[in-house]
Amino acid sequence: MKVALFVPCYVKAVNPEVITASYKLLRHLGVDVSIPKGQTCCGQPMGNAGYESHTSHLKERFENIFKDYDVIVGPSSSCVVYVREHYGNIFKGRIFEICEYIHDVIRPTSLPGSFPHKVSLHNSCHGIRLAGLAAPSELNIPYFNKLKDLLSLVNGVEVVEPERPDECCGFGGLFSVERSEVSIKMGTDKVLRHLETGAEYITAADSSCLMHQGGIISARKLPLKTIHIIEILACGI
Amino acid sequence: MKIDVDDALWLVRGKRDRLSKEIPEWEELRDAAYRLKLYSNSHLPELLEQFETQATANGAIVHWAKDADEYRNIIGGLLKDHGVSLFVKSKSMLSEECHLVPYLKNLGIETVETDLGERIIQLMGSRPSHIVLPAIHIKRQEVGKLFEKEMGTEPGNCDPTYLTHAARRNLRNYFLNADAGMTGANFAVASTGEVVVCTNEGNADLGTSVPKLQIAAFGIDKIVPDRESLGVFTRLLARTATGQPVTTYTTHYSAPREGSEFHIIMVDNGRSRILADKDHFRLLNCLRCGGCMNTCPVYRRTGGYSYSYFIPGPIGVNLGMASNPEAHKKDLSACSLCQSCAGVCPVKMDLADQIYLWRQHFHSSVPKRILSDGMLAVMGGPSRLKATLAVGHPAMKALKACGFQWGKGRDFPDIANPLEHE
């Protein structure tokens, strides 16, 4: 089975270590994964801004790169869901957010290494409300959280959640620019709630939320760090 | 403890969550409500005519209004014919939509809002900032000052119970002396011809119990087929809106009181146009519960006045676009697409997805276009992306060193050196 790692553009730009960790983790779990060349962007930021019709060349590039793979896995729920919902049926049923894929398909029972830190889990909007990584607080459905399940496989990690555990952090793509003040207010509220848990790290399945919250942490010089969940899961590899 | 609008509405959202989780079949109820709304809105002609027949048989007089003009003229005509000079009204978003009160003022008719929040807003000469909690943004100290001036309450007393009692005494005079009373409607039951009004204060009931002329006006999307389906909606409405199992009063108005007249006005005012829009017809599902406002992280932080349309929040962004897109397209950016509204909505409207769709046709700002085009250019190919990152890596370092931020209070991320990460 041919598995491709989808490298979201902004992850490549600001968190390339997440790509390395994703690759190592999947290999460790016995997945024959490769990183196809020529990847740029799925078109989500432009689509959310109102310019999906301008992105046909990005879609064409994406389709050409990935069409022959059986499974596509990406470390960004927002991008994965965008492809799922805006690319017609071409990738339906074979594109996964990486935690979703590991949790639902590979189902590991243990992971090597330990991460002896207190970690505040950021349940990203698209991760839980669109990719189904956890039960959203709005719905009356049985509780589940695939991210917590996976983190429980790592030794030493203590997982906590902030108050309002799935309220939006305010990134929202170009929302963060166009409504900058609101975005920063939302992000600041969120970061301070993470801080109140006493955690050392904020972790999430979306680098975009972490990039935005990281910017607020940096500007306010707060004693918090951000780390993509895959880096924790791959810490012993 | 200092409570702001965000905290106050988050508490309401929390109550809504707790109550909804006490109902095991909550998600099935939402499904049923969604399907019932699709049914009613796709059978409007039959249901509205059935309603008219039943209501007429009950002794009510039914009017049809195609737009705000007709709605105002019907009400103005009725009030003039009955020699009304004092008019009491419970909260109705339709009356805001159709600018009823200023119109009546021009006719020399004084309208008194009887919902406490709406009355506060009226006395302030302001407009509602929330559709269910119209004065949510007003502090009790401000209400104290207002009542001191308007009702002669004790200076400096802003105890909520004291102020509520003062308002109650003050409104009582209006209830007793009004020549006509009006309500909106939460639902109109086609099979029985009843207008159903849900309130907590009983003001609608008082306002319709004394005057000889009663008017109820509602948008045609308020129609539900029968009482059984009504039960689905009343179970969802108060739980979602305010976190109560049910509103204190759920009043079914069917016939006029003895010796009085009951007029019902069914208003289109653009609703059939929304119904014809394949992307947005589900907006007619809306119960006007305000649940999407309570959960919207943007609304909670910016408040109702930051939107150009009179209905704010996720539903307001959509209804504003449906009403006049050029006038309201700036509101489209007031959404991070977090999707929380879709999960709260009792009639399962895909509010964020609809905002996404509007954005494809109506663009809110030139800088966003430039940014989007810029990103498109960079993403045109892997070599361009690599080159941009190669330049971006030192450029971002330099920018950050000069103190440039990604908005005030947020630093830009570092851009990785693409040569180190092949």
Nearest to B411 among A19, A50, A215 (CB): A215
If pLDDT is split at 50, 70 and 90, which confidence band does B419 have?
confident
- Given this model, what pLDDT does residue B1 score? 47
pLDDT bracket for residue B175 (50, 70, 90):
very high
- As a whole number of angstroms, the distance between CA B54 and CA B188 comes to 11
Q: B102 CA to chain A: closest CA distance, Å?
A: 34
pLDDT interval class at B3 (50, 70, 90): low
| Window 32-51 of A, Cβ < 8 Å to B | 37-41, 43, 45-51
**DSSP assigned state of A121:** E
Residues of chain B neighbouring A173 (CB-CB closer than 8 A): 337
Q: What is the mean pLDDT of each run of 10 residues along chain A (237 residues)?
A: 95 94 97 96 94 94 96 97 95 96 97 96 97 98 98 97 98 94 98 98 97 97 98 96
CATH 3.40.50.10420 assigned to B8-272: yes
For the stretch B99-130, pLDDT in tens is 999 999 999 999 999 999 999 999 999 999 99
B21 pLDDT higher than 50? yes
Q: Does A174 touch chain B (CB under 8 A)?
A: yes
Mark yes or no for CB contact A15/B360 under 8 Å.
no
**pLDDT at B77 (0 to 100):** 98
- At residue B269, the pLDDT reads 98
pLDDT band at B363, cuts 50/70/90?
confident
Q: What's the average model confidence in pLDDT over B359-379? A: 88
What pLDDT does residue B422 have? Answer: 58
Residue-level pLDDT at B44: 97
Domain covering A118-233: architecture: 3-Layer(aba) Sandwich (3.40)
Query: Is the Cβ of A142 closer than 8 Å to some Cβ of chain B?
Result: no
Nearest residue, CB atoms, A138 vs list B297, B340, B372: B340
Task: Please state, in angstroms and rounded to a whole number, the distance separating the CA atoms of residues A94 and A59.
Answer: 16
Write out chain B residues lying below 8 Å of A178, CB-based.
333, 364-365, 367-368
**The total number of residues written for chain B in this structure:** 422
Could you tell me the pLDDT band of residue B2, with boundaries at 50, 70 and 90?
low
Which chain A residues touch B392 with a CB distance below 8 Å? Answer: 13
Interface test with A, best of B30, B341, B406 (most A CBs within 10 A): B406
A130 → chain B, closest CA residue: B339
- Tell me the domain boundaries of chain B: 8-272, 279-366, 382-421
Yes or no, beta carbons of A50 and B344 under 8 Å apart: no
pTM of the shown model = 0.96
**Across the A/B interface, how many CB contacts are shorter than 8 Å?**
189
Q: How far is A18 from chain B (nearest CA, A)?
A: 11
pLDDT digits (tens, 9 = 90+) for B252-309: 999 999 999 999 999 999 999 999 999 999 999 999 999 999 999 999 999 999 999 9
**ipTM score here?**
0.96
- What's the residue count for chain A? 237
- For residues A147 and A144, what is the distance between their CA atoms, to the nearest angstrom? 9
State how far residue A208 is from chain B, nearest Cα, in angstroms: 10
Superfamily of domain B279-366: Alpha-helical ferredoxin (1.10.1060.10)
Q: Give the closest-approach CA distance of A202 to chain B in angstroms.
A: 16
Residue of A nearest to B383 (CA): A38
